[in-house]
Amino acid sequence: MEKRAVVTRFAPSPTGYLHIGGLRTALFNYLYARKHGGKFLIRIEDTDLARNSKDAAQAILESFAWVGLECDGEILYQSERFPLYASYAKRLVEEGKAYYCYMSKEELEQLRDSQRAQGITPRYDNRYRDFSGTPPSDRTPVIRIKAPLNGEIAFDDGVKGRICVQAKELDDFIILRSDGSPTYNFVVAIDDALMGVTDVIRGDDHTSNTPKQILIYQALNFPIPKFYHIPMILNPEGKKLSKRDGAMGVMDYKLMGYLPEALLNFLVRLGWSYEDKEIFSLQEMCALFDAKDINSSASRYNQEKFLWLNQHYIKACDDIRLEALLGEFGAKLEAYQAPIKSLLFSALKDRSKTLLEFAAQLKEIQTPPQTYDEKMLQKLDSSALKALAELAEEATETAKFKQHFTSPESLESYLHSFAESKSIKIGKLMPALRLALLGKGGGIGVCETLLILGEEQSIERIQALLKYIG
């Protein structure tokens, strides 16, 4: 058989935001296509006109744009293809592979009730399968596929291995409803075939749909793609992922200060691995990914690992991009000269797992302390206060302080000699200075803080603390 060029697709139903599980499915499809130099397509499955919305479809595409997964070709919308699906349904009727069924909803309900009463799984009883009489004139029929009456439907799933379903477990399911709308399994098979999809990678909640779709491929003489059904992402306790665990829309991660490359790296490792490698650029993923390496057991969401990856990518982010990203979190950085900015970035990159944290810490540095840490205040003795006052005085009256605002090292050596000249231990001066500058312990280095604040701000903050203490 001729080998077809790889075509994969992601086929979301636009009922809400794009969930991270969906993005992982899309990523696997994207990578598989890129790895094989094939195509990655997007199809919006919006046949359920009551539940689907244009806004949700737009939100899904916005998520794709944010993470940078580009699709090939036009995005296909199933809602625009109803006439096409109907024509395939009619063709199957003409070929004797599908048929009109005139059973009313009430009759179907009655049948199901009686089957349930007998302890049988409810299923359509094929009553119109070979019908050749005069159809009831008051009913618009549905179209049902003629499913095989015996034998089995089997396929080799790329993740789960061979899957076999007995034909008797499938009934003659509806492919076109009486209102002319097509059903899910029918349109998925038609579209995958017409789009030339060779490999279907999707969540394993769709495993049970596959035999039905295979019947459609067979009836329409379409080549059957290779299927890969990937297990769900579970929470750390092994339960279904919930909002609390982080099962949110992709764009929520943006708002929480995650970088798109961190999200993709996090997702690719949920259900796929390559040796013991953890960090993957998109390029590396494209080169190394193989659908046959997808794990057959469910993966678990690990928030700590996600944060670790995010910090890795924040650290790797160049200053220009970082500034633009932080701008979205309200960070104000225009006032800083380039060397100060890069000092600030490298100090905060080490302390920030998200951009949100980064921007919050920056704001803390930029905002003069409104209160002071009580414990640290109590530790300030008269010698430390005196030294602070003398430092402020030296800074305002001489150029000594100012001329060391060139690097943290220069300020460090100045403060050491200042402390020595005033006979105060550096270990006492530094915490006092930190309290004056930031209002509390912790945070970036004192000399870095001085440089970032600049001479004037630094003096103001020292004076403010002295004033506060009175």
**Contact residue for ligand GLU among 6, 7, 13, 250 (CB under 6 A):** 13
Give the whole-angstrom CA distance, residue 5 versus residue 83. 28
81 binds ligand GLU (CB under 6 A): no
Q: Please, what is the minimum distance in Å from the beta carbon of residue 29 to ligand GLU?
A: 9
Pairing of strands 174-176, 98-101: unpaired
Q: Which residues on adjacent β-strands are paired with residue 8?
A: 40
* Residue 291 vs 433, nearer CB to ligand GLU: 291
Stretch of 9-17, 157-165, 359-367, 406-414 lying at the interface with ligand GLU (CB under 6 A): 9-17
- Helices 338-349 and 303-316 sit at what angle, rounded to 10 degrees? 160
Numbered residues of the known binding site? 243
Structure tokens at 35: 């790895």
Q: Report the residue from 188, 197, 344, 365 that binds ligand GLU according to the rule CB under 6 A.
A: 188
Q: What are phi and psi of 162, to 5 degrees?
A: -75, 130
**Cα 406 from Cα 455, distance rounded (Å):** 11
Nearest approach in angstroms of CB 121 to ligand GLU is 24
Residue with tokens 């379903």: 165
Question: What count of residues does the chain have?
Answer: 470
Determine if 197 is a binding residue for ligand GLU (CB under 6 A): no
Tokens describing residue 65: 């744009």
- Give the residue numbers of the binding site for ATP: 243
Paired tokens of 250: 């992709």
Nearer CB in complex with ligand GLU: 12/408: 12
Scanning residues 414 to 453, which ones bind ligand GLU (CB under 6 A)? none
Choice between 23 and 343, CB closer to ligand GLU: 23
* Cα dihedral 386, 388, 393, 399 sign: positive
**Least distance to ligand GLU, CB of residue 254, Å:** 21
3-state secondary structure of 268: helix
Tell me the closest approach of the beta carbon of residue 361 to ligand GLU, in angstroms: 39
Q: Note every long-range contact of 161-168, with CB atoms under 8 Å and residues 24 or more positions apart, other chains counting.
A: 161/296, 163/207, 163/210, 163/211, 165/211
Q: Which residues from 34-53 bind ligand GLU, rule CB under 6 A?
A: 45
Q: Does 206 bind ligand GLU (CB under 6 A)?
A: yes
Choice between 16 and 368, CB closer to ligand GLU: 16
| Phi and psi, residue 392, nearest 5° | -60, -40
Which part of the chain contacts ligand GLU (CB under 6 A), choosing from 11-19, 72-80, 116-124, 268-276?
A: 11-19
Choose which of 7, 11, 291, 465 interacts with ligand GLU (CB under 6 A).
11
Give the separation between CA 200 and CA 158, rounded to whole angstroms.
10
Nearer to ligand GLU, 202 or 341 (CB): 202
- Whether 435 and 469 have beta carbons less than 8 Å apart is answered as no
CA distances in angstroms from 118 to 107, 126, 203, 457, listed in the order given: 17, 18, 34, 84
Q: 431-460: b or e for each residue (b if 16 or more CB lie within 10 Å)?
A: bbbbbbbbbbeebbebbbbbbbbbbebbbe
Instruction: Report how far residue 310's alpha carbon sits from residue 89's, in angstroms, rounded to the nearest whole number.
Output: 49
* Residue closer to ligand GLU, measured from CB, 188 or 322: 188
Task: Single out the segment in contact with ligand GLU by CB under 6 A; choices: 6-14, 145-153, 170-178, 243-251.
Answer: 6-14
Closer Cβ to ligand GLU, 220 or 288, answer by number = 220
The residues, any chain, with a CB within 8 Å of residue 358's CB and separated by 6 or more, are: 257, 314, 326, 329, 331, 348, 349, 352
Q: Are 452 and 338 in contact (CB under 8 A)?
A: no
Residues involved in catalysis = 243
Among 39, 144, 202, 353, binds ligand GLU (CB under 6 A): 202
Site of interaction with ligand GLU (CB under 6 A) = 11-13, 45, 188, 202, 206
